[in-house]
Amino acid sequence: MSIQQQYRSRAKELLQDGSVKMVIGYGEGTTATRRRPIFITNPDDTDRLVLDAACKTNLAGYLLREGLLADQKSVAIFLSPSGVRTINILASESQLSSAQVVVLGFQIQGDTVKALEGTKASDFSPLIAKRKEKRKAQPSHEMTRKLEQMTPAERFAFWEGEFSRCIKCYACRAACPMCWCRRCVVDNNQPQWVNTSSHTLGNLEWNLVRAFHLAGRCVECGNCSEACPVNIPLHLLNRRMTEEVLTAFDHYPGADEHQEPVLASFRKDDPETFIL
Amino acid sequence: MSEPFEPKIVAFVCTYCTYAGADLAGTSRLKYPPNVRIVRLPCTGRISPMFILKAFQKGADGVLVSGCHPGDCHFDHGNYHARRRWTAFNALLHFTGVPEERVKFSWISAAEGIKFAELIDSITEEIRQAGPFEQYHKLIAETGSVASV
Amino acid sequence: MTKILYSDDLTACFSAWRKEGTKVLGPVQQAKTSGFGEVQDAKELDLDLVLTDRTLKELFFPRTEPMLSYSIGKQQIDTSEFLPSEHPCIIFGARPCDAAGMAIDDELFNWDYRDEYWFRRRDRSVIMTIACKESDDFCMCTSLGLAPDSAKGSDILLRPLTSGKGWQVEELTPKGSKALLPIASLLKEGTEEAAPTAEVPVLFDLEACTTWLANPENFESHFWKEISERCIGCGTCTYLCPTCHCFDIQDEGDTYEGIRRKNWDSCSFQLFTMHTSGHNPRNTQSARWRQRIMHKFNYFSDKFSVHSCTGCGRCTRECPVDMGVRETLQAISTLPK
């Protein structure tokens, strides 16, 4: 039985026996290579579910839809390991209760999809712990290394060029499951800390704020970069932040749901080489 | 002849330590450059990175953020939280090309009037050498111009 | 016999126009995304694109522009107004759907008052459109009553030659004819045939859709929630739409000085309709998606007798969750009226 078939039957069983009220998964898209998020509540509709290497979007953000989890009922959702880490972070930030989330775990490896054992987010903690070690050993992105070798003025010019294209559609924010604030700080106008206009200055400010607010929270799922209609390499900023919290504080976002948020906790012996 | 360049520096300081340190520098009649505008806050834990961005948006050439030494926070651990935040934000600024000399972080206690005066002296000189933050000022200037096409 | 412009003469045309003091813009690749930019040489153009990522509207309605600045001194208050330049320009290589969009937007910007920011830029520009030889999976101009060689909104229409070496030139407006004067010697008379235009399938019955939308009973239909359940509320579809035109006026600055700006805004955003009181009349994403569709195919059409959509397909092409006008109208056209 193919993994897709296997997950369809599992989704069907979950809906039939009433253990979940909805399955959030992937369905066919406008073209043969596109996938789109779908929401299944009828067991007979589970045949619409698709699972293949094109299922890249992190769906976890949909769990925060207003009222969805308010009735204490469970929802099943297709999640890759970064999706499971998202659930852990959202739980640690009190945005949802992981007990209400039934994980249909999978992992994309090249062109194939592998099933992952487990149903609760915590079942994946050993797997995530392994990924932490892998992430530590992973070299920085090639472009990041290039940037680090530039002079500050050259780096500034690079980002100025990238940010000059930003149209402030805020798709990066909307696509990010971590951007759950009811009112984003840049939409506050008393005080208005950063410019809301999409001139390069306002774009630089917005992108710095976004990257900073995701420091130690980003699971590198890639939703933001995928969503950006003008292809700004947002992932470079996020990855740089991930590397910073990993080396400075040994923090790997979303390790488990009891993990303390990195910027809301501290150790007395945290490094401080740059402080005069 | 044009005036020699005098940098504008904004210092965000906590009221219990660095502000008191600045006060001590004053009452001790220590001399330090008048380039620094001090913004006093209750604790370094209250200093959001947004403040730093705002200072640059308003044309600052440099920013100093300073508070109590670790262990000395009036609120026990505000500066420990601040330290983590600065670590991430400092890395981000560095990565996006804001030169190191333009954003400084320090611990200055109420007893360190001399350290305060000397630090202001050295960062002012460093930024004076580096010149105005032209790259940022260019972005500010662009907000007041109509796109050519 | 028709007038023919050969690709080899294009750079010479650009120089001739520039000599007259006219800027030349066209579809270009700009760091991993395509849009319209100023060009000196024909080599800079990317004419193989089915459609640029960003639309033509940015040239007339930039995503942000200053309107006025103010500064308050001890004795006086100074204000100054910004207006776009009237520097003439030629836009070479627009697509028919984008050009048609500009004509639709003209209606809106000249409705309750004449928007100087829009029309100054419109009046100074000549749009030279190239008919489409190719389309992609998202193109749907034919479903909207347009075609890959629609002339709407263009000053000059160019039809690609079968040989691929140039275009037949069709003058559509006096402004267009005038723009051809400096390059008259570069246009050749010829009989070479134009290549067939792209075959764009009709995807839905527009008539059936508008009838359904016009029925007040359908306003509260469950359909809206179902079709937009996955919408994440980003503004990509509106910002990349040639006919979406909403904007917001923002004051950037403080008590003493600042700039008033006109910025793009989007009905997809929750804040778009948020009242100061906290009440939001369009409080769900489905209500916001319904607004977008209703505005394009009902309210706008009622007012201006034209739909505010040209079928460029960018909304679907660029949507992070694979939604768009296409899916919605396809679904509506199968619903009982």
Please report, for chain A, the start and end positions of each structural domain, with discontinuous segments joined by +. 3-131, 137-264
For residue C93, the SS3 value is: strand
Residue A29 Cα to chain centre, angstroms: 21
Clarify whether residues C12 and C143 are in a common domain. Answer: yes
In angstroms, the CA C67 to CA C116 distance is 11
Clarify whether residues C121 and C213 are in a common domain. Answer: no
Clarify whether residues C26 and C87 are in a common domain. Answer: yes
The residue among C93, C202, C47 whose CA lies nearest residue C139 is C202
**What is the per-residue pLDDT for B146?**
76
Contact between residue B136 and residue B55 where contact means Cβ atoms under 8 Å apart: no
Clarify whether residues C110 and C82 are in a common domain. Answer: yes
pLDDT digits (tens, 9 = 90+) for C196-212: 999 999 999 999 999 99
In a domain, C200, yes or no: no
Instruction: Please give, one letter per residue, the 3-state secondary structure of C221-232.
Output: CCHHHHHCCCCC
Chain C residue at shortest CA distance from B144: C66
Residues of chain A with pLDDT under 50: none
> Which residues, 6 or more positions from A5, have their beta carbon under 8 angstroms from its beta carbon?
none
Question: Around A150, how many Cα atoms within 13 Å sit in the side-chain half-sphere?
Answer: 20
Q: What ipTM did this prediction achieve? A: 0.92
Pairing of strands C247-253, C257-264: antiparallel
In a domain, C197, yes or no: no
Question: Of the residues C190, C215, C246, which one is the last residue of a structural domain?
Answer: C190
Clarify whether residues C79 and C140 are in a common domain. Answer: yes
In a domain, C279, yes or no: yes
**What is the per-residue pLDDT for A139?**
86
- Residues on chain B touching A263 (C-beta within 8 angstroms): 81, 84-85, 88
Contact between residue A119 and residue A74 where contact means Cβ atoms under 8 Å apart: no
Clarify whether residues C183 and C225 are in a common domain. Answer: no
For residue C173, the SS3 value is: coil
In angstroms, the CA B48 to CA B64 distance is 13
Percent of chain C with pLDDT over 70: 100
- Residues on chain B touching A157 (C-beta within 8 angstroms): 97, 135
The residue among C226, C213, C230, C217 whose CA lies nearest residue C292 is C213
In angstroms, the CA B32 to CA B29 distance is 9
Q: At CB < 8 Å, which residues of chain A contact C?
A: 29-31, 34-39, 57, 61-62, 161-162, 165, 167-171, 173-175, 187, 192, 195-199, 202, 223, 226-227, 229-231
Q: Which helix (H) or strand (E) holds C305?
A: none
Chain B residue at shortest CA distance from C63: B147
Neighbours of A123 (CB within 10 A): 14
In a domain, C79, yes or no: yes
* pLDDT at residue B1 tops 60: no
Confidence of residue B144 (pLDDT cuts 50, 70, 90): confident
**What is the per-residue pLDDT for A138?**
87
pLDDT digits (tens, 9 = 90+) for C102-150: 999 999 999 999 999 999 999 999 999 999 999 999 999 999 999 999 9
In angstroms, the CA C329 to CA C130 distance is 27
* pLDDT at residue B149 tops 60: no
Inform me whether the C-beta atom of residue B76 falls under 8 Å from chain A C-beta atoms. Answer: no
The sheet that has B36-41: what strands, in order across it?
B36-41, B9-14, B62-67, B103-107
In angstroms, the CA C144 to CA C312 distance is 10
**What is the per-residue pLDDT for B148?**
59
In a domain, C179, yes or no: yes
The contacts found for A267-271 with CB under 8 angstroms, 24 or more apart, are: A267/B80, A268/B70, A268/B71, A268/B80, A270/B80, A270/B83, A270/B84, A270/B87, A271/B87
pLDDT digits (tens, 9 = 90+) for B5-47: 999 999 999 999 999 999 999 999 999 999 999 999 999 999 9
> Which residues, 6 or more positions from A11, have their beta carbon under 8 angstroms from its beta carbon?
A23, A25, A40, A46, A49, A76, A104
Contact between residue A150 and residue B95 where contact means Cβ atoms under 8 Å apart: no
pTM given for the model: 0.93
* pLDDT at residue C97 tops 70: yes
- Residues on chain A touching C320 (C-beta within 8 angstroms): 57, 171, 174-175, 223, 226-227
Contact between residue C157 and residue C324 where contact means Cβ atoms under 8 Å apart: no
Q: Which helix (H) or strand (E) holds C29?
A: strand C23-30
Neighbours of A238 (CB within 10 A): 25
Inform me whether the C-beta atom of residue A268 falls under 8 Å from chain B C-beta atoms. Answer: yes
* Boundaries of domain holding C263: 206-333
Clarify whether residues C6 and C126 are in a common domain. Answer: yes
Measured between CB atoms, which of C138, C239, C324 is closest to A169?
A: C239
In angstroms, the CA C268 to CA C285 distance is 7
**What is the per-residue pLDDT for B118?**
94
Q: Which of A23, A168, A235 to mutate to test the interface with C (most CBs of C within 10 A)?
A: A168
Sign of CA dihedral C111, C115, C116, C119: negative
pLDDT digits (tens, 9 = 90+) for B119-141: 999 999 999 999 999 999 999 99
What type of residue is A222? G
Structural domains of chain B ordered from first start: 9-142 (3.40.50)
What type of residue is C239? Y
Q: How many residues does chain C have?
A: 337
Transcribe C216-273 into DSSP letters: GGGGG-THHHHHTTT----SHHHHT-SS---EEEEEEE-SSEEEEEEEE--TTSGGGS
What type of residue is C20? E
Contact between residue A57 and residue A223 where contact means Cβ atoms under 8 Å apart: yes
* pLDDT at residue B106 tops 80: yes
- What sections of C81-222 are H helices per DSSP? 96-109, 116-124, 174-180, 206-214
Clarify whether residues C133 and C17 are in a common domain. Answer: yes
Pairing of strands C2-6, C23-30: unpaired
pLDDT digits (tens, 9 = 90+) for A44-71: 999 999 999 999 999 999 999 989 999 9
Task: List subunits contacting chain C, requiring 3 or more Cβ pairs under 8 Å.
Answer: A, B
- Counted domains in chain C: 2
The residue among C172, C157, C154, C163 whose CA lies nearest residue C190 is C163
